Amino acid sequence: MKQIQWYPGHMAKTKRIVKEKIKQIDIVFELLDARIPLSSQNPVINEIIGDKPRIILLNKADLADQKELSKWIQYFEKKGFLALKINAISGQGLNQIEQTARGIIQKVIDKELSRGRKERAVRAMILGIPNVGKSTLINKLASKKKLVTGDRPGVTKQAQYIKIGQHFELLDTPGILWPKFEDEDIAYKLALIGAIKDDILPIDDIAIYGFKFLYKFYRAEFESRYDIKVDEDNIVQVFDDIGINRGCLLPGKNIDYDRVCNMFLHDFRHDRFGKIIMDRVSDV
């Protein structure tokens, strides 16, 4: 299988910084995209975290297929990780985070107090791939816009501590991607949600992958969105039907395939096909 190389210099630098800072951290919040709970989990992060206590935060949970998401929560719990459903924009589920974290590391806090140390803020680190919502989450927890956010990967450039109330400090870090993708499926899923730059993979290949996924799992929503009937064996016809119905035409009434692809990606990233999950526990 083809390997997709993708590892900008700032990500290698981030990995070094995180390895240095992890020693100061009490607990790690691993932020995943609830639509791709497995594909957004970077194995490099597992290596960095080691045996540190960890809570998995499934962001954008309101956009995910709830039946499938429940299966993923059970999956992570069987692996020994508590998983919480959240939405960093609306604030859904955020009130659970601090209380849950303090509960997990209470023994460490009590041990320090028994030795006569003053109670200090819990130090947490947020880790995740680019564009998964780390800065948005911190801004919401802090109730102020302390960090720059954006809908493109690579907005956060350096690690920084953010004070959350009186008893909590969060270390935000830039997103870390894999040195290379050995699994093309993961690369395409990340591309579909916008976690990697659009020029890494051909846009028509990304669109075709998305078409096939929706055809298999959410066919009715796909057909309803574009008022078409989908034949997976005739992808060109799918492009043509969408182009005609949505007016993506060049002079001479030829289909503007680039416009069709860009429109599809916009629709996919803005949840125009309803609640979905691209990773399936049954495939693990």
Give the model's pLDDT for residue 153.
42
Same domain, 208 and 174: no
| Residues above pLDDT 90, as percent of the chain | 52
Q: What is the CATH number of the domain that holds 59?
A: 3.40.50.300
Q: Give the integer Cα–Cα distance in Å for 252 and 280.
A: 43
Same domain, 171 and 211: no
User: Higher pLDDT residue, 43 or 252?
Assistant: 252
Q: Which of 94, 110, 113 is nearest to 102 (CA)?
A: 110
Mean pLDDT to the nearest integer, 147-171: 63
How many domains does one find in the chain? 2
Confidence check: pLDDT of 154 > 80? no
Whether 98 and 39 map to the same domain: the answer is yes
Tell me what pLDDT residue 155 has.
Answer: 41
pTM confidence score: 0.86
Residues 174 and 46 in one domain: yes
Checking if the pLDDT of 142 tops 90, the result is no
Q: Are residues 33 and 149 in the same domain?
A: yes
Domain ranges, residue 141: 4-180
List, for residues 195-241, the tens digit of each pLDDT value.
888 888 999 999 999 999 999 999 999 999 999 999 888 999 999 99
| Dihedral Cα 10, 177, 77, 93, nearest 10 deg | 70
For residue 254, being part of any structural domain is answered with yes
Q: Is 188 domain-assigned?
A: no
Kindly state the average pLDDT of the residues 245-260: 96
Across the range 32-61, mean pLDDT stands at 92
In a domain, 42, yes or no: yes
Q: What pLDDT was estimated at residue 6?
A: 52
DSSP letter assigned to residue 63: G
Identify the band that residue 150 occupies on the pLDDT scale cut at 50, 70 and 90: very low
Q: Where are the beta strands (DSSP E) in the chain?
A: 4-5, 27-33, 54-59, 82-85, 122-127, 160-164, 168-172, 180-181, 249-250, 254-255
Judge if 270 and 224 occupy the same domain.
yes
274 domain-assigned: yes
| One domain for residues 132 and 10 | yes
State whether 128 and 39 are in the same domain: yes
**What is the distance in angstroms between the CA of the first residue and the CA of the last residue of the chain?**
18
With 70 as the cut, is the pLDDT of residue 109 above it? Answer: yes
User: Are 217 and 272 in the same domain?
Assistant: yes
pLDDT value, residue 225: 97
Position 198 in a domain: no
Task: Indicate the pairing of strand 27-33 with strand 254-255.
Answer: unpaired
Residue 190 has pLDDT above 50, yes or no: yes
Which sign, positive or negative, has the C-alpha torsion 19, 21, 25, 29?
Answer: negative
> Is residue 138 scored above 80 in pLDDT?
yes
22 and 104, same domain (yes or no): yes
C-alpha dist (Å) from residue 17 to 32, 67, 206: 21, 38, 32
In a domain, 196, yes or no: no
Residue 257 lies inside a defined structural domain of this protein: yes
Predicted pLDDT at 144: 60
For residues 153 and 255, membership in a common domain is answered with: no
pLDDT of the residue at 26: 92
Shared domain for 222 and 113, answered yes or no, is: no
What CATH code is carried by the domain that includes residue 218? 1.10.1580.10
Residue 233 falls inside a structural domain: yes
